[in-house]
Amino acid sequence: MKKGNITGGLILILIGAWFLAVQFVPQLKDWAEGNWSLTIIGIGAVFLVVSLLNNIPGLSIPAFIIGGIGSLLYYQNVTGDWGSWAYAWTLIPGFVGLGLLFFSLQTRDKGTTKAGFILLFISTILFAVFGSFLGAPKAIIQYWPLLLIVAGLWSMLRALTGNRKEKVSQPSIKVVVEQDEATIEEME
């Protein structure tokens, strides 16, 4: 039997057992109704575990998205700060970026690493900008213009320094294939 079938079956059994227990144990049902967002985080964790156990790196990206959104919902459920969704949604590209970074660790793909960091940076900027206008705590977002200044300086430095790597031209190799006339006649 394949390892993936055993892992998938075990995950389905555990999820089914959880939902069955919630239906029949009153204390567990009360706890689960108050902490429903933990179930969403748990689903993200399941994706991550399956990604690691079955060597399916692509599942790490939705794992971080689902887990991140579950974490946002957990924060809002605990604090009652549902209005924070007006700017908290800007963290979702950052969750994608974290998933890409984890994916790049699994696959050793440097291009994905760069994309992950870019998404994290964009998400941070969006969170700071939207949060400053839509009510995020000032202690969190009061210095967001510094991020723009750093991004501008970095962009200018890259443009001024340029790409200093000299491109080395590699000689082209011609492959000459010779065939016998007899072989060519046989093919016709």
Query: For 89-101, what is each residue's pLDDT tens digit?
Result: 999 999 999 999 9
More confident residue, 13 or 65: 65
**Measuring CA to CA, which residue among 90, 91, 118, 92 is closest to residue 104?**
118
Query: How many whole angstroms separate alpha carbon 163 and alpha carbon 161?
Result: 7
The pLDDT of residue 71 is 92
Contacts of 87 (CB under 8 A, 6+ apart): 127, 130, 131, 133, 134, 135, 136
Sorted by where each begins, the domain ranges of the chain are 35-164
Provide the whole-model pTM.
0.65
Q: Average pLDDT, stretch 35-58?
A: 85
Find all residues with CB under 8 Å of 145, minimum gap 6, and list them.
Answer: none
Please tell me the distance from the alpha carbon of residue 186 to that of residue 168, in angstroms, as a whole number: 44
Q: Are 59 and 88 in contact (CB under 8 A)?
A: no
- Confidence grade of residue 129 (pLDDT, cut at 50, 70, 90): confident
* pLDDT of 50 strictly over 80: yes
What are the distances in angstroms from CA 65 to CA 42, 60, 93, 111, 172?
12, 9, 8, 20, 46
What would the pLDDT profile of 5-24 be if each residue is shown by its tens digit? Answer: 666 677 778 778 878 888 88
What is each CA distance from 140 to 95, 96, 119, 120, in whole angstroms? Answer: 18, 21, 19, 16
Position with higher pLDDT, 116 vs 13: 116
Q: pLDDT-based confidence at 172, cuts 50/70/90?
A: low
